[in-house]
Structure formats: C-alpha cells, structure tokens
Structure 1
Amino acid sequence: MRASVNRPPTPDADEDKEAEPTLQEIINIKLIESGEKERLKELLRERLIECGWRDELKAQCRAFTRKKGRSKITVDEIVRNITPKGRAMVPDNVKAELLQRIRAFLMSDAL
C-alpha cells in the first residue's frame, strides 16, 4: 500500500497540549507574584543569622579552604562540598516556621 504524499503526518496528541504547570510551579508563581517569596527569604536569612547557622557555615568554608589550599580550590568546589552540610544544619524549628508560613499562605485566598 502506498502512503499519501499530499497529507501531512498525524501529529501526536501529546504535541498538541501545552505542558501543564505542576502544583509546585503554580505555588512558586503565586509566591513570586504576591511578593511572599521575598518575605520568606528575608525571614529565613534573619532566622539563620539568629541561630548562628551563618557563622558556622563560614567557619566550615574557611576550614575546607585551608584543608584544600587556598590556591588550589574553586568556589564551585566549596559550594559542592558545603551545600549538603549547610542544608543539613538548618535547625528544625526554622524549617517548621517556614513550612507553617507557606501553609498559611496556601490556605489564604492566594490560590
């Protein structure tokens, strides 16, 4: 059987649909549009400074730099090494406070 030369191929059904944003993307857009994301970031900065997290992370960066040698290390290496430790060091009460704020935002009429 011969294929039709005049007819274009049938498009896939998936190609016709635009990608639907995920729930996480929708929430992120709402946080940005409302300005809440900046307020949450500022709150996080304040809490991390108050609990000494920032100073501890600086000390770890300095120790890592001394260990590797100042001229032999890049910023990317420091970030790769320190980021997991920094995330693990965030106090649970700070995480809980941010989560509570995000939940309160989601429960409001924002969505």
Structure 2
Amino acid sequence: MPAEETETQMKNSINQKLIEAGEKERLKTLLKERLADSDWHDRLKDQCRQVIKEKGAENITVDDLVTEITPRGRALVPDSVKKELLQKIKAFLAEQANL
C-alpha cells in the first residue's frame, strides 16, 4: 500500500475517533476561543480588505475571496495555538491507546 494512502487512512481513522468521542467539537471550541483571544480576526479582515482592494469589489465573488484567503488564514493562526491543539490531539490519542 502506498505511503500516501496509508497516511490518508490514518488521518481518517483519527478524525473518526475524534468525532465519536466528541473531542473534535471540543477542539473546535478551543480553537475559536484562542483565535478570539489573538489578533487573528483583525489580521484576516485586513487580508480580505487587501484582496478586495487589489482585485476590485466588482471583480471578486465571495467564493473567490474564500479560496484566496483560506491559505492566508491558516498561515495567520499563531504557532502557540497550533502547538496547543496538537498537544491536545496527541494526549487524546495516547489516552485512546491506553483504553
């Protein structure tokens, strides 16, 4: 089995475990709280304004804006938030392994 396929299966399995345990919703809530505590929303708004200004409001759809801004939004998530979420996921998986 190719490594890429194995990785996809592993991600799907982890995602399923997170959903079944209700952990995915808890992690989403934590992410929203952490982003609200940071300047992420303001920085993302600035990025949106910049894209609209560059392309012109009449030349861009909401879908175009979302497509363009999504990678930027992910890149703007503070490293501390990414690390915290990763630690929570690792702790959850370790707990599941011990059951």
Structure-1 residue corresponding to 2:63: 76
The alpha carbon displacement at 1:67 in A equals 2.3
Structure-2 residue corresponding to 1:94: 81
- Structure-to-structure mapping, 1:1-111, within 5 angstroms: 22-109=9-96
Mark the runs of 5 or more structure 1 residues left unpaired by the alignment: 1-19
TM-score normalised to the size of structure 1? 0.74
**Structure with max Cα Rg:** 1
Structure-2 residue corresponding to 1:8: none
Moved over 3 A (4+): none
Letter paired with 1:108: E
The alpha carbon displacement at 1:109 in A equals 3.0
Paired residues, number: 92
Choose between structure 1 and 2: higher helix proportion: 2
The alpha carbon displacement at 1:81 in A equals 1.7
Please give the root-mean-square deviation of Cα atoms over the aligned residues, in Å: 1.9
User: Percentage identity across aligned positions?
Assistant: 58
Letter paired with 2:15: N
